Amino acid sequence: MTETTYREAIRQALIDAMQTDPDIILLGEEVGLYGGAYGVTKGLIDMFGAERVIDAPISEPAIVGAAVGAAMTGLRPVAELMYVDFAGLVMDQLANQAAKSRYMFGGQIGVPMVLRTQGGTGRSAAAQHSQSLEAWVMHVPGLRLVMPGTVNDAYHLLRAALTQPDPVVFIEHKGLYTLKGDLDPAVPDAPWGVPLVRREGADLTILTYSRMLQESLAAAEALAARGVEAEVIDLRCLNPLDETAIFASVRRTGRALVVTEAAVTGSVASEIAARVGEACFDWLEEPVLRLGGEDIPIPVAPALERGSIPDAALIAETALWLVRREAPAWA
């Protein structure tokens, strides 16, 4: 086990996978000579050559379309979309081709590709480069969706994604790239598709993923000082998602708070809240609460950007309100 960063864990996962599987190729804007928009693929072109690390033209549809075609013919491409905000440009290739091909060909042809992309706030990148659009992906049958919130998960979930028969959208939070943590290449945090209890508690269940995991864990620490023990569950994989641990936790605590960075309307949090409400209705002491970003374009000003999404303090305030210990300032 070694300490490393989220960025380096993803880079190491790519290196280890490419050394193991010669069919894995990388393609995207500036993934080769420049090393990727956030430095994840730095040096890989020197290790694997320009035939496997391909600097593509500035055309997102061409990148994803080429990856879909390469996957259908036997390769296992990793396409990098510089920002998840550009997903609208590739929805035909992703949602109509990659997601549907294995079903429409009766399993004879699959699309075993990974689309790596970056989402979230934290760099004052403004409204067109700071969104959290995972709900777009989660809505499409046939697409797998992964959003790691720890260093070890960043490594192991990418390694697992590179063995799947279906297309996987792997969203990395740009605010986590410098996060430090322990990496054990031999031991994953949990199996593919299985949520993980990151902190045990008896008073309420906090369900979250990606960077909001770190904020939720910090909130749980603050809540403990106030006598409230929150159980924090990291969803990790949004599709597939084994709901067993989620429902067991909520039935035990009787309260659920779903936290996302995305705008709440039509969000992953809304879907998870609905599932919990349907499956745990008889056990709930209070309605399931959703806490997420404001329904506004992300501001460029750092203070306004921070204020547009939840943080540990707001999560803790909302949790206190849910357990009826005290009302938050916004109530």
Same domain, 229 and 88: no
Residue 89 has pLDDT above 60, yes or no: yes
Q: Give this prediction's pTM.
A: 0.96
Classify residue 311: in a domain, yes or no: yes
Q: Which residue among 183, 208, 223 closes a domain?
A: 183
Residue 25 has pLDDT above 80, yes or no: yes
Burial class (CB in 10 A: 0-12, 13-18, 19+), 329: exposed
172 annotated active-site: no
The amino acid at residue 186 is A
d(CA 83, CA 131): 9
pLDDT in tens, 260-312: 999 999 999 999 999 999 999 999 999 999 999 999 999 999 999 999 999 99
Return mean pLDDT, the chain.
Answer: 96
- Which residue in the list 129, 156, 173, 261 is annotated as catalytic? 129
173 annotated active-site: no
- Here the tokens at position 260 are 């996302």
What is the reported pLDDT for 328? 62
What is the reported pLDDT for 215? 98
Average pLDDT score over residue span 226-250: 97
- Which residue in the list 8, 29, 60, 134 is annotated as catalytic? 60
The CATH number of whichever domain residue 243 belongs to comes to: 3.40.50.920
Buried b (16+ CB within 10 A) or exposed e, 178-206: ebebebeeeebbbebbbbbbbbebebbbb
Contact 198, 138 (CB under 8 A): no
Contact 15, 9 (CB under 8 A): no
Residue 329 has pLDDT above 70, yes or no: no
Same domain, 140 and 216: no
Backbone dihedral region of 145: left (phi > 0), alpha (psi from -120 to 50 degrees) or beta?
Answer: beta
Average pLDDT score over residue span 143-155: 98
pLDDT in tens, 197-210: 999 999 999 999 99
Residue 225 has pLDDT above 90, yes or no: yes
Classify residue 328: in a domain, yes or no: no
